[in-house]
Amino acid sequence: MTDAMTPEFHYAILTAAFTSLLWAPHVAQRLLEMGLVGGFRDPLHDAPTQAPWAQRSIRAHANAIENLAVFGLLATAIQITGHTTSASALAAAVYFAVRIAHYLIYVVGLPWARAPMFLIGWACQWVLIAALFGWVK
């Protein structure tokens, strides 16, 4: 394990930090609709928000968490093994940017633009896999 933080791990931490904030817009919308007491009285979200963007926001947050599990593990493996490459470092930076774009596009409601962002992020994950196996330099 190296002492210095790899770019991949750095971007994994930034992605985790970003993902940790994605619940807030949905909850803020619920509080606006239901009030403070009503919003917190419904922790299981039995009463869905009326705003379509907020419904998309919670789905985008779930998608970000699901993909962070894969990206975070790969970035951690690169940090531990020291298999960082220029390609994997670039892929990590692109992944972070694409996850921000994916969330915003998802919330706005542009499915034709959301899918390419997801696929670019998926391809970035595969660049990290390739770096771990020594397939890219």
The full set of domain ranges for the chain reads 7-41+50-132
- Fold type of domain 7-41+50-132: Four Helix Bundle (Hemerythrin (Met), subunit A) (1.20.120)
Q: How far apart are CA 105 and CA 129, in angstroms?
A: 26
Query: What pTM, to 2 d.p., does this model score?
Result: 0.92
Whether the Cβ atoms of residue 19 and residue 64 lie closer than 8 Å to each other? yes
Mean pLDDT, 10 residues at a time, the chain of 137 residues: 86 98 92 83 72 94 98 98 97 98 98 97 98 95
Q: How far apart are CA 16 and CA 6, in angstroms?
A: 15
Query: What is the crossing angle of helices 7-19 and 86-108, to 10°?
Result: 10
Residues 6+ apart with CB under 8 A from 124: 71, 91, 92, 94, 95, 98
pLDDT of residue 45: 64
| Dihedral of alpha carbons 71, 59, 96, 130, sign | positive
pLDDT of residue 35: 86
Q: Is 133 left (phi over 0), alpha (psi -120 to 50) or beta?
A: alpha
pLDDT of residue 71: 98
Q: Residue 35 corresponds to which tokens in the numbers above?
A: 């009030």
pLDDT of residue 124: 98
